């Protein structure tokens, strides 16, 4: 999972891209990069948090009114500096490209590009694959098509990307002397929102981003999102060109609404905050049906992503909501930390139970999801240690039973506790007095009930094993797991080099 942003403005873009990456920091904490251009290209990338990579000296060098930025949470590729986006190629024109998603057919494409296209790949990143396919076909179009309509050339190149790739990709590319290109995979699995800002002189600035969280702060108004299978091109005169090149079922990732996105985001014209409220309401109704004799004294969220669902569930149950676990805001998100040891160590630092809220009470803990189970078990143990009489555990997301190959780091089925254990076994493993998972239909309803959206059905492959690209079988699953484990080993080794 990553965060991407592109800005085409009538004023310097670097500071706004930096601010946008701060707003997208929750989507990736491993690395970040910014590319801008005026008459020259300016690049700054590095490992770590956004605030640690960019300082006043390198920000002032990022000149130009057009630029793109990226925060990285790796699901593919290694951990070195060379894997940090945006990626760059100087042929044709000069293209910088940032990508959020994951290519299912990465291995086949890497082989084709090396053996058939006779191109050397510098990284293990699927973003380099995307950049190669797009740039190579844009170069072919430049040589064979009418040079007066650059948008047709762009559409030709994006169409070739769609034909050769499978998986998820939301892409923002900056092309020197030509403008900005934005496109999205035909299923729209990863988000890509658009915004615009009217200036006093009548001109309009444009922003495209994984989320809308920074729009208000930067003065942008939400505009038309990038549709699944659509390409958007903003030329140097700030004219907007749009064309939908492919149309399949619109299946955005359900986990964006459960965990990854900030609650103040409008995603695919659906409020993440309101969808989480509805998750809590649905859970409350299910609780009253399944456990009519179990009423908690307090409802507490863990971690902060579950705050909204916990609040609405407490209200629906008529129970006091309490922040009985204090969260240290300076500890990273445990789900997206690179290893289990780091995740387990982080939980103790990240959350501190408040004994005065917990002792001698029946405590209901609401979490957004259970993936591996270790973090949830640690939370339960901490609450027990601080004197809870009974503990009920409620999960806003249904059991995660299958790995995601569309951009979420769930590499192997064996790591997913729900893939190898029944709900009764999970309850026993966690040591709780009652366990309630959201049902898939209730989760889908919570996301799609309201909003001016055209979602056909969210992708719930991690919950039911039905992959929307229709090309993930057992063999492909094993292949992808092997690639993901190799990437993990590479990242682990890089720490000690």
Same domain, yes or no, for 238 and 286?
no
Which of 433, 453, 473 is the last residue before a domain boundary?
453
* pLDDT at position 336 over 60: no
- Cis, bond preceding 326 (omega within 30 deg of 0): no
* pLDDT at position 495 over 50: no
Neighbour tally for 304: CB within 10 Å? 17
Same domain, yes or no, for 235 and 360?
no
Radius of gyration of the chain (CA): 23
pLDDT score recorded for residue 147: 76
Contacts of 23 (CB under 8 A, 6+ apart): 211, 213, 214, 217, 262
Residue 55 inside a domain? The answer is yes
pLDDT (tens digit per residue) in 278-293: 999 999 999 999 999 9
pLDDT (tens digit per residue) in 385-440: 999 999 999 999 999 999 999 998 775 888 899 999 999 999 999 999 999 999 99
Choose, from 2, 155, 253, 459, the residue flagged as catalytic.
2
Residue 152 inside a domain? The answer is yes
Residue 466 inside a domain? The answer is no
Same domain, yes or no, for 88 and 176?
yes
CB 126 within 8 A of CB 186: no
Residue 67 inside a domain? The answer is yes
Same domain, yes or no, for 220 and 138?
yes
Cα–Cα distance for residue pair 497/493, rounded to 1 Å:
7
Same domain, yes or no, for 343 and 204?
no
**pLDDT mean across residues, the chain:** 92
Same domain, yes or no, for 281 and 242?
no
Same domain, yes or no, for 238 and 89?
yes
pLDDT score recorded for residue 343: 55
Same domain, yes or no, for 283 and 166?
no
* pLDDT at position 58 over 90: yes
pLDDT score recorded for residue 497: 39
| Range of the structural domain that residue 73 is part of | 3-249
pLDDT score recorded for residue 474: 86
Residue 93 inside a domain? The answer is yes
Rounded to an integer, the average pLDDT of 33-58 is: 96
Residue 323 inside a domain? The answer is yes
Q: What is the CATH number of the domain that holds 420?
A: 3.40.50.2020
* pLDDT at position 73 over 70: yes
Rounded percentage of the chain residues whose pLDDT exceeds 90: 81
Q: Is 2 a catalytic residue?
A: yes
Which regions of 31-152 does DSSP assign to beta strands (E)?
31-37, 41-47, 66-72, 87-89, 95-103
* pLDDT at position 494 over 70: no
Which of 185, 214, 249 is the last residue before a domain boundary?
249
The number of folded domains in the chain is 2
Rounded to an integer, the average pLDDT of 213-232 is: 97
Which of 234, 249, 264 is the last residue before a domain boundary?
249
Same domain, yes or no, for 58 and 196?
yes
Q: Confirm whether pTM is higher than 0.85.
A: yes
Q: What is the CATH number of the domain that holds 30?
A: 3.60.20.10
pLDDT category at 329 given cuts 50, 70, 90 is confident
Which regions of 158-297 does DSSP assign to beta strands (E)?
167-175, 179-184, 193-198, 204-209, 221-222, 230-235, 240-244, 266-267, 270-271
Same domain, yes or no, for 52 and 113?
yes
pLDDT score recorded for residue 475: 86
* pLDDT at position 321 over 70: yes
Rounded to an integer, the average pLDDT of 71-87 is: 82
* pLDDT at position 81 over 70: yes
Q: Helices (H), strands (E): how many in the chain?
A: 18, 22
Residue 64 inside a domain? The answer is yes
Same domain, yes or no, for 243 and 279?
no
pLDDT score recorded for residue 75: 65
Same domain, yes or no, for 420 and 330?
yes
pLDDT (tens digit per residue) in 349-386: 788 899 999 999 999 999 999 999 999 999 999 999 99
């Amino acid at each position: 999972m990553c965060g991407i942003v592109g800005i085409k403005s009538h004023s310097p873009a670097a500071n706004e891209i930096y601010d946008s990456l701060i707003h997208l920091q929750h989507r990736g904490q491993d690395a970040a990069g910014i590319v801008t251009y005026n008459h020259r290209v300016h690049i700054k990338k590095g490992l770590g948090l956004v605030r640690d990579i960019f300082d006043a000296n390198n920000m002032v060098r990022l000149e130009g009114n057009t630029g793109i930025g990226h925060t990285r949470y790796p699901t593919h590729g290694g951990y070195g500096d060379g894997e940090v986006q945006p990626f760059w190629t100087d042929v044709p024109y000069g293209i910088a490209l940032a990508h959020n998603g994951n290519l299912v057919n990465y291995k086949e494409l890497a082989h084709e590009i090396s053996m058939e296209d006779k191109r050397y790949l510098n990284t293990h990143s699927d973003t380099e694959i995307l950049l190669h396919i797009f740039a190579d076909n844009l170069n072919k179009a430049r040589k064979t098509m009418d040079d007066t309509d650059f948008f047709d050339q762009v559409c030709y190149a994006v169409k070739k990307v769609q034909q050769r790739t499978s998986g998820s990709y939301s892409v923002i590319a900056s092309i020197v002397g030509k403008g900005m290109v934005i496109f999205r995979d035909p299923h729209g699995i990863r988000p890509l929102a658009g915004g615009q800002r009217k200036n006093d002189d009548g001109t309009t600035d444009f922003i495209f981003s994984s989320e809308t969280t920074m729009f208000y702060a930067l003065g942008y108004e939400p505009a038309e999102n990038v549709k699944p299978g659509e390409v958007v091109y903003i030329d140097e005169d700030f004219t907007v060109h749009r064309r939908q090149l492919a149309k399949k079922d619109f299946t955005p990732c359900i986990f964006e609404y459960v965990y990854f996105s900030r609650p103040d985001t409008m995603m695919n014209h659906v409020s993440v905050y309101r969808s989480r409220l509805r998750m809590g309401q649905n859970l409350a109704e299910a609780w009253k049906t399944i456990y009519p004799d179990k009423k908690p004294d307090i409802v507490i969220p863990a971690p902060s992503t579950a705050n909204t669902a916990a609040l609405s569930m407490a209200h629906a149950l008529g129970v006091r909501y309490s922040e009985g676990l204090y969260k240290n805001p300076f500890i990273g998100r445990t789900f997206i930390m690179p290893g289990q040891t780091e995740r387990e160590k982080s939980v103790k630092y990240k959350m501190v139970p408040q004994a005065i809220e917990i002792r001698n009470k029946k405590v209901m803990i609401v979490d957004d999801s259970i993936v591996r189970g270790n973090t949830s078990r640690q939370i339960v143990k901490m609450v027990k240690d601080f004197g809870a009489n009974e503990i009920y555990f409620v999960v806003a997301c249904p059991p995660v039973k299958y790995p995601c190959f569309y951009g979420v780091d769930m590499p192997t089925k064996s790591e997913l506790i729900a893939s190898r254990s029944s709900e009764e076994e999970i309850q026993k493993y966690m040591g709780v007095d009652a366990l309630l998972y959201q049902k898939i239909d209730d989760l889908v309803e919570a996301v799609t009930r309201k909003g001016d959206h055209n979602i056909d059905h969210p992708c719930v492959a991690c919950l039911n094993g039905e992959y929307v690209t229709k090309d993930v079988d057992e063999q492909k699953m094993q292949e992808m797991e092997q690639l993901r484990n190799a990437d993990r080993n590479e990242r682990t080794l890089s720490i000690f080099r």
